[in-house]
Amino acid sequence: MSNSSIQDYQFIDKNVAAKLAGLSGDTLKRYRQKGKLQKDIHWVSINSRVVRYNKTLLIDWIQNHQSNPKAHSKAIENYLASLPSSQKKTKGKRS
In a domain, 62, yes or no: yes
In a domain, 87, yes or no: no
Structural domain of residue 65, as residue ranges?
9-82
pTM of the complete model: 0.81
- Dump pLDDT digits (tens) for 15-56: 999 999 999 999 999 999 999 999 999 999 999 999 999 999
Euclidean distance between the first and the last CA atom of the chain, given in angstroms as a whole number: 33
SS3 73: helix
Query: Which residue in 49, 62, 61 sits closest to 14, CA to CA?
Result: 49
User: What CATH number does residue 53 fall under?
Assistant: 1.10.1660
Instruction: Kindly state the average pLDDT of the residues 2-18.
Output: 79
In a domain, 27, yes or no: yes
Secondary element (H or E) of residue 62:
helix 55-64
- Tally the domains of the chain: 1
Backbone φ, ψ for residue 45 (5° rounding):
-100, 120
